[in-house]
Structures are given as structure tokens and as C-alpha cells.
Chain A
Amino acid sequence: MTLTCIMLALLFAGGSAWRAENHWQGSAKWLALIALALLATVFAVFVMSASNDFAQLQVLSRVSWIESFNIEYSIALDQLSIVLITLTWLLAIICVLVSWYEIQSNVGFYYFNLLLTIAGIIGVFVAVDMFLFFFFWEVMLLPMTAIIAIWGHENRQFAALKFFIFTQVSSLLMLVAIIGTGYFHLMQTGQLSFYYPDWLLLDIPLSISQYLMFGFFIAFAVKLPSVPVHSWLPDAHTQAPTAGSVLLAGVLLKTGAYGLIRFVIFLFPQASLQFAPIAATLAVVSIVYGAKMAFAQQDFKRLVAYSSISHMGFVMLALFAFNSTAYQGAIVTLVAHGLSSAALFSLAGMIYQRIHSRNLTDMGGFWQSAPRMGGFALAFAGAAFGLPGLANFIGEFFSLVGAFQVMPAFTIIAALGLIGSAIYGMVLFQTSFQGAAKQDIIDLQLRELLICGSLLLMLLAIGLYPTLLLKFSFGV
């Protein structure tokens, strides 16, 4: 009940931010910030005070929705979704902070879209009725497309369209898989059902489940993204406004990983096991290819976007290793990448606001005029190339240790990604902050320090004391 209220409250807050901006200029961002902070607190209190520990999936509410198809409104929480929702709250607040001065037109509508996306994302993480899941999946997509298309950079329409078509086509396959599995439930038990716990009880023969799994897999692989269906990501990330990139890299990609865990691996364990070599190959190719592509980029945000592909490859590799170490590694990588890529995109936004360019060739020597920014850039680039002591290292190390036990050859190639990441990390940091000073820029202001500082602190905390995250068993 509380969760439903939180989502509705987000919607309401978005709507009122839209209205309020028309009457009092500058009120929308405050409204959004306060609403997010308040609702995040409510969520935290709700989870803390709950009697159970969410080790298993806890169904929180179940109401009939479309009775003729036995579709329900049912939501549930477990530790995995709690971790990801917490990450969503954090990054949502960061998103509002980075858009503070960046968004100048249609401000009210912008915050409406932002809050709607966040509501959709939270819905995705809690829905356990598959139809509802699909509904939220689409809810999350539309306002995001709007954010890219309206407030993005020069090529925004194209990027938004590409993002929309990729996601839409792939989610169509997922819809087919959802209906297929529901229909199979009808065949096996005589009743149509889209309820996830019901599906877990199904015993689907491998010959059918491999196709169903594949439908889900494609949808989530596009979202993750994995080579060869990754190419919406560089465009979308590059063209989106800063908050859009932060949200995309920080949380939206994680819905793909979340889907892989919950609806591919847990739902079709056998089919996934059979599929593992292909998935691992894709993962390894993503890691190496993403790192290589990142090196070739001239655009700050595009470089970070390709590095995301590389990092998500580690997640995929770990997930298809089927052991708890790798699984923990995948979760830590998700959170760590959420924080570090959000940080890098925020930095890109801050630089863009100062020099109105994302091109690395326009940058150089910023360290001289903006040492604080340089320090943060180095730390975040360090996180991206897996510097021990920061969260990403723990994630990657766990992923590799886990994966190595199952598929050493793949893991060794994946480890070569560490070299690639060092190369693009160095290129990113050195071309923008070292070298001769091309121009002087203003150093970080209080608001920006707050953003970077909090992200760095979280990265450090997880890196040095990963037990914070690892204590969750995630119900393997």
C-alpha cells in the first residue's frame, strides 16, 4: 500500500510541479526535490520498520485489475529491488540537483516527466504481475523519450527516436514472451495467470522455455545494453540532458540487469544455463568492444556511454556464471556503475555548462583553473577503470572471481577489459584536465560539490566497506 502511495505521490508531485511552475517561476525544482527527499524517507522508514527482512520476495499488495484475463495489480519487494530502488532515489535527487540551472525551458513539464520516469522505474522494480511489469516498463520509457527529445542536445530528435524504437521493438518481443508464458500457464493449470510467483511454480519443458527465455533476454539485453544491440545507448546518452544521462546510465540500464536476474535466470534456470555460453560470449565481447569503442570517441559523454557498455558486460558475465560470488559481484557492479557513471555524466554536464561543448578536443588543462573538479574527475575515472578502494573494483573483482570458477577462458578475456578501461580512463582524464590550459573555467560551486562529494563518498564507502551491500544474500 505504501509503495502504491509513493508512486501515486510521485505522479501527483510531478503534476503539481508542472502547474506550480506556471504560477511561480522556479518552484518546480524545489517541489520535485522536496517531494523526492520526502518520499525517499518514507520508503526508507517503510523498509526499516517492516517486520521481515525481505530475504524472499514479499508480496505487499494484490488486487484484481483486469479480471477477464486474470491480470492483477500486485507488487512485491525483496532485497534486490530494495537495493535498486534505493539507488534510484539517490540518483533521482542527484538528477534534480544537476538540472537545477541546466533546464531553462518548459521547466514544469520537465520535472513532471522526470518524476513520472522515476515512478515508472520504481514500478518496474516492484511489479510482480507480468502485465503490470510491462505497463511500468512502458511508463518508464515514454517520459524518458520526451526528456531526450525536448531538452536534449543538437541531435535530440534522432536519438530519442532511436532509443524509443530500440526499446519498443525489443519490449514487443517481451510482450510476446509474457503472453506465451501466460498461455502456457493456461495450458498447464487451466487458468490464465500473469502472476510472477505462479510462474515460478511452472514446469516448462526446455523446448518451449528456451524460446520464452529468449524473448525476455532480448528485451533486457537491449536495455542492459549488450553488443550487438547497444547502439541506441551512445546516441541517447550523448544527446540527453545531463539528468537524462544520469538517469539512463544510473538506473534505466539497471532495469535490464534486474530483468535478467528476475525474469530470465530465476524464471528459466535451465534454459538460461543452456544459453550461458552465448550470453557469456556476448558479455565478453561487450566488455572488450565497449572499452575499445570508448577509446575511439571524441565526445566526453559518448566515451562514458561506451564505457557503460563495457561495465554492463561484467554484469552479464557474472549473472550467467550462476554462483553467489559472481551474483554479488553483479549487484555491486550495478550499484557502483550507477554511482560512477552518474558522476561522470554529471561532470560532463558541469563542463558543458562552462564551455558549451562536449568535445574532448575543446578541453584540456582544466586542472589549473578547476583543481577540485580535476580531483573529482580523476577519482571518478579511477572508479571507471576499477581502482581498488572504490566500489567498482569490488564489483568487478567479485564478478571475475565468480565467473573464473565456471568459465576461465571467458574471464581471462574479460580481464583484458581492465587494460582497455585504463586506456580510455586515461584518455578521458588527461585530455580534459591535463595538458596545456585551453581555457580557464570556474571551479565547482557548492551545489556541484555536494553532488560530486556525495557520489564519491558512496563509492568509497562501498569500496572500502562492501559489507554494506554484500550482507544482502539476495535470495540466491
Chain B
Amino acid sequence: MNVLLASLPFYPFVSFLLLIFFGKRLSWRLAATISVSSMAISALVSAILLFELSVTKNQVMTANLWHWFELSYAMGSSDVNVRFYLDGLSAVMISVVTGVGFLIHLFAAIYMKSDVNFSRFMAYMNLFIVAMLILVLADNLVLLYLGWEGVGLCSFLLIGFWYQEQSNVLAARKAFIVTRIGDTSMAIGLLLLFNSFGQLNIEAVTLLAEQANSLSAGTNAESADNIYWIALLLLGGAVGKSAQLPLQTWLPDAMAGPTPVSALIHAATMVTAGVYLIARMHGIFLLAPEVMNYVAWLGALTLLLAGIAALAQTDIKRVLAYSTMSQIGYMMLALGAGAWTAGVFHLMTHAFFKALLFLTAGAVIYALHHQQNLFKMGGLLKKLPFESSLFIIGLICLMALPGTSGFFSKEAIIAQLWSSDTAGPMLWWCAILGALLTSIYSCRLFFLGFLGKARFNENVQLKKSSLLRTSLIILALLSLFGGLIPLDLTLVFSSVMNLPLAQLTEPTWLHTVAIITPFIGMVFSWFYFKSYRISHLAGKEHILQPNNGRFVVFCRQGLGFDGLYKKLFIMPYQWLAQINKNDIFDQIIMLNAWYVGLWHDALVLVQNGSLRWYLAAFGLAIMLLLGVSLL
């Protein structure tokens, strides 16, 4: 029992409770102090935990909070506890969550200062951190699911933070429901997992899966089948949360939330939960190489798709959203290829530079009076030199120029693709193409926003706050030098080491190509986006317009997935709901009532109240009776 570990989620939780209950009465200063200091404490505690973890021999720490419940199955029962488990992998995650989370909280406290609901905002952010910490620290999949749904709920609340706007409300709903589809797949995966292994504890499951595999050595078709399905269903959950194909459509819309939210939830932490899940369950995935292959392909397709979509965006935040999607695609590709450590490494560095990019973008958007359209920016390099230089740092990390943190992590991924069993040269080329796309859309973004002439009339407004700048500078430093952090996850992924190495030999030009690809992209963009770079071509119209060709618009809308899903799922569901609004079963049952009513109406006709009619009927009946009896 480690008290520090057990207490880790409680600092932000206490802050959440304080802000929710006393939010209206707290001044900005007090509310900000409470939420930011709670994050500072958790960051500090995670640093201590990290240190303790590196000192301990077995590299695992646990803390059992309480017994949650006991699940029984045919052969016995297993405990599900609220228990935290810290190893190298979750240590990376908690340091990212609390460290980057702290910096973003610091930024948000100043950025959101003037919002009426400031304390509510910070409360949600704190709650999100709580849920995220539970997610990464969970020692069993049910607790992980609790955190998983918790971050989903917070994401929903924060996307819809400005809920008076109907579009934000719809974006929040979309995000929640689309991820919920993935979550349901994951829940079914949990059911199958429990049914196959009688366990939901992650360690135990990994162990059992390995045993089952080594014992049967492929002869037990049913167990292999089960593992295949479990891996596939868990992948469904990961795909939903991490905005990968085919459940990627919610992420661009999620940019409706305030910018710190986009930085924290939709770039640095929550969307990488899917990557974490797969890395955490690597024991299962390793036994299902086909699913690993799917993971790699999904990652590769998403990274290309998102790269293409990013090229056509006009909104600075949506460019970054698609870029997030594409970078997570890289992580998925790494996981699928079995490059676990590289994937997690990229997760970490991506958290640094993407948070930096989003926060800087937020600062820029604020400076331009909430202008997000790239075609109404331009020339910011001169007007906002501080923000611009930070943005450049973020972009070069994103493009993975040599020396930056992005370079180390992305190269680590690409290097392992060629010879991987579950990936191969084809996926390597995809990754290279993705890198090319990344560098092109990064350059386009930079040219449009920061070079050329200013295409706006207002003066820039600046938040001169040393705290805000400090948080950005720290993030920039992390982005630049984060690649030097030694990440040793060999103990976590120890089972991976036993895999036989593939026989494929790597050509010698691989690394050279990988390194020069971003530069090719830059050179290409320099010429291709000349009009963006200098705002106008000689002799042409001064105003820069986005290209509205049909294909560009198609790409801008995420390559038609939204429309497709609308036609395939949303409209049929709504149609079904509409036509059956009155409940067909009710109508069938009410037929009885209608039938009785029919007889009622018929008999009422006879009771017309007219005495003479009664008499006539009386006489007629007697005559009939007499006639019948006589005949």
C-alpha cells in the first residue's frame, strides 16, 4: 500500500469538489489557486512516485483502496478492487497527465479568466484529471472502464462548455455518442475476456493469456478465437477514444470546446487513452497477430486520411485536430508493428508539442479576437513574435526535424516498421508518405498564419502574463528536448523481447529517406504555397481565398465520413424513431380497444331514443317471431 500513489487522484478531486460546491462564491484568484495548486501537488507527487519507482527493484507499485465487488463465474470468482497499479507505462502516463495537465491548467487559469463560469471550467478540468489518472492507474479493466467513461463525460462537458451555442451542444453529443460506440465494443470485449479467463485484472489476464497460448500452442482453436475477438473488441474501444478510423469523426468537431480543453483532452491526454489501452493489453494483442496487423493498418490509413484532410482546412484548430488524429495514427502504427516503446514514446513527445501548438494557437486566437480562420490571419510573425516562435518550435517538432523530440520518437517508430512481422515495407511507405503530408500541412499552416501580410484590421490584443508565458516556455523546452528523456519500458513489455526477429533485411537507404522526407515536404511547400507565403501573387487580387473546389471541400469535411455515417446510421435511426413514434405494439394492443369501441358505436345506433322506432322494431320483431313460428 503506497499512500502517495493512492492519494494521487484525490488532489484534483478535492479541488473539483471545492469548486463545484463553492464555485459561485470564490473569486478568480482563489478558484485559480485551488485548481492549479492541486495540479501542482499531483505533478509533484507523480515526480516523487517516478523517483520511487526508479529506485525500487521490481519496478511496480500498487495501492489497494477498497474492495469494489466480486464477480463469480462457473469455476469460481475473482475480486475486482479499486486498486492502483504503477509500472513504467503508467508512470509515463501519469507524468504526462499531471505534468502537461499542470501546465495547461496554469495556462487555462489565465486564458479563461474573464469567463463567467470560470470555476465550473476549472472544476471540469480537475475532474477530467481525476478520471484520467484512474484510467491509467487502474489495475483491472472495470476500473479502467470507469476512468474511460469518466474522461468521456468530462470531454462531453468541456466540448459543450459554452452550451448556449447549439453547434457546441451537437458537437458534444456527437463526441459522446461516437466514443460510446467504441466503449460498448470495449464493454463486450470485457465480457468475453471475463468469460474466457475468469479475470479482469490486467496483470493476471496477461499472464493467463500467455499461459493459455504456451500450453495449447495453437491447438486450442477456441481459445485462440476468443483472444482474437477480445483483441478486436478492445481495439474498437481504443479506436473510438483515439479518434481513429472508422470512429474518427468526432474529433474535429470537438474543437468547439475552449482551446485549453483541446490541448489537454483532445491532444495530449484523453485521445491517447486508446493507445494506452492497447499498450496496456499488449499481452492479449501479441497473441492475436492479425489484430496487430489491423491496428497497424488502421493507424496508417488514419494518418494518411487525417493528413489529407488537414491540408484542406481553413480553421487553425481543425488543422491541429487532424494533425492530432494523424499523429495518433503513428502511435497506432507503432503498436501494431510491435514497437511498443516507440509508440508510448511518441505519445509522450506528442503530448508536449501538441499541447504547445494548441496553447499557442489559443493565444493567437485570443490575440485576434477569437478569429480562427487561417485566411483571416497572416503576418503574425511580426505582430506576435513570441507566440510565433513558440509555434515554430511546435511545428518543427511535429514535422520531426532532426534534433527535436518529435524526431526521436517518430524515427523510432519508422525504423521498426520495415522489419516488423505485423507491419512491413508497405506500412513503412505509408508512414513516410504521412511524414511528407505532415510537413506539407505544417508549412501551409505556418505560411498562411504567420507569413505574408496581415489580413485583419483590428489591433492584436495581448495577455501579458508571466505565468502564461512560463507555461508555454516550459512546454516549448519539453518539446525541443523531450526526446532526450530516457524511456525504458523493457520491463513492461518484457514478453515482447521473446518474439523471434523477422528475417527481412533492411535496405541501407531507409534512414536517409526517413530523415530527408520532411525537408522534401518543406521545399515542395515553399514553392507550391508561394501565394500563401507572400499573401498575393504579383498583379493578382489582393485578397487570399481558400480553394473551394469540390475535392478540396470534400477533404475539408473529413473525406465524406460524416455524410456517410449520417446516411448509414443517423438517418435510419431517426427515421425509425419517427415512423414508430406511436409505438407499434401499443397500436396493436389498442386495436382491441378500437374493436370494442366499434361494437359500442354499432349498438349505440340502435338506442336512438326515439320511442316510435322502438315500437316499430318491437312490432316487426313480433311479426317475425310469429311468422317464423307459424311457418
Contacts and interface: CB of A to CB of B under 8 A. Distances in A.
Of all A-B residue pairs in the complex, the 9 with the closest CB atoms, nearest first, are A231-B586, A296-B577, A388-B146, A434-B163, A228-B585, A422-B180, A404-B191, A418-B184, A434-B169
A471 B368 CA distance: 60
Contact of B188 (A230, A234, A415, A422): A415
22 contacts: A231-B586, A234-B586, A365-B163, A365-B164, A378-B157, A382-B153, A387-B150, A394-B69, A401-B194, A404-B192, A405-B195, A415-B188, A426-B176, A427-B173, A434-B163, A434-B172, A435-B166, A436-B165, A437-B164, A464-B82, A466-B69, A470-B70
B588 A401 contact: no
A419 interface: yes
Contacts of A325: 71-73
Interface in B559-600: 573, 576-578, 580-581, 583, 585-586, 588-590
Interface string B16-51: 000010000000000000000000000000000000
Interface in B514-553: none
B74 interface: yes
Contacts of A408: 191-192, 195
Contacts of A38: none
A388 B169 contact: no
Contacts of B194: 401, 404
Given A296-B577, A405-B195, A418-B183, A470 B69 contact: yes
B149 A388 contact: yes
B509 interface: no
Interface in A432-448: 433-437
A464 to B, nearest CB: 8
Contacts of A426: 156, 173, 176-177
Given A415-B184, A422-B176, A430-B169, 6 more contacts: A408-B195, A411-B188, A415-B188, A434-B172, A466-B69, A467-B67
B191 A227 contact: no
Contacts of B70: 470
A376 B176 CA distance: 19
A278 interface: no
Interface string A380-399: 00100001110001100110
Interface string A411-423: 1100110110011
B221 to A, nearest CB: 17
Contacts of B264: none
Contacts of B166: 435-436
Contact of A415 (B69, B71, B187): B187
A293 interface: yes
* Interface of chain B, main secondary structure: helix
A228 B585 CA distance: 6
B181 interface: yes
A397 B74 contact: no
A400 B187 contact: yes
A230 B177 contact: no
B323 to A, nearest CB: 28
Contacts of B181: 419
Interface of B: 20, 66-74, 82, 120, 142, 145-146, 149-150, 153, 156-157, 160, 163-166, 169, 172-173, 176-177, 180-181, 183-184, 187-188, 191-192, 194-195, 573, 576-578, 580-581, 583, 585-586, 588-590
Nearest to A404: B191
A437 B169 CA distance: 13
A423 B177 contact: yes
A118 to B, nearest CB: 29
A435 B164 contact: yes
B169 A435 contact: yes
A228 B70 CA distance: 35
Which one of A382, A398, A433, A435 has the highest number of Cβ atoms from chain B below 10 Å of its Cβ? A435
B191 A415 contact: yes
Interface in A264-284: none
A434 B157 CA distance: 10
A41 B516 CA distance: 78
Nearest to B82: A464
B67 to A, nearest CB: 7
Given A228-B589, A367-B163, A434-B160, A397 B184 contact: no
A103 interface: no
B284 to A, nearest CB: 18
Interface residues of A, number: 54
Contacts of B583: 231, 234, 293
A466 B146 CA distance: 14
B150 A389 contact: yes
Interface in A30-46: none
Contact of A292 (B66, B120, B576): B576
B380 to A, nearest CB: 33
Contact of A230 (B150, B578, B585): B585
Interface of A: 227-231, 234, 292-293, 295-297, 323-325, 365, 367-368, 371, 375, 378, 382, 387-389, 393-394, 397-398, 400-401, 404-405, 408, 411-412, 415-416, 418-419, 422-423, 426-427, 430, 433-437, 464-467, 470
B195 A296 contact: no
Contacts of B176: 422, 426
A129 to B, nearest CB: 32
B163 A388 contact: no
Contacts of A398: 69, 71
Contacts of B183: 418
Which one of A293, A415, A467 has the highest number of Cβ atoms from chain B below 10 Å of its Cβ? A293
A467 B69 contact: yes
A470 B583 CA distance: 36
A340 to B, nearest CB: 16
A434 B168 CA distance: 10
A466 B142 CA distance: 14
A426 B177 CA distance: 8
Nearest to A387: B149
Contacts of B187: 397, 400, 415, 418
A156 B390 CA distance: 66
A465 B589 contact: no
B151 to A, nearest CB: 11
Nearest to B145: A388
Contacts of A295: 573, 577
A388 B73 CA distance: 21
A397 B149 contact: no
Contacts of A430: 160, 163, 169, 172-173
Given A389-B146, A415-B191, A435-B164, A292 B577 contact: yes
Contacts of A388: 142, 145-146, 149-150
A292 B575 CA distance: 11
A281 to B, nearest CB: 14
Contacts of A411: 188, 191
B153 A387 contact: yes
Nearest to B578: A296
B589 A404 contact: no
B69 A293 contact: no
Contacts of A422: 176-177, 180
A422 B68 CA distance: 24
A404 B195 contact: yes
B191 A368 contact: no
B150 A405 contact: no
Contact of A436 (B68, B120, B164, B184): B164
A437 B67 CA distance: 43
A412 B173 CA distance: 24
A436 B576 CA distance: 28
B110 to A, nearest CB: 24
A123 B528 CA distance: 82
Given A231-B585, A325-B72, A434-B160, A401 B177 contact: no
B187 to A, nearest CB: 6
A464 B66 CA distance: 9
A459 B184 CA distance: 22
Contact of B191 (A393, A401, A433): A401
Nearest to B160: A434
Nearest to A229: B589
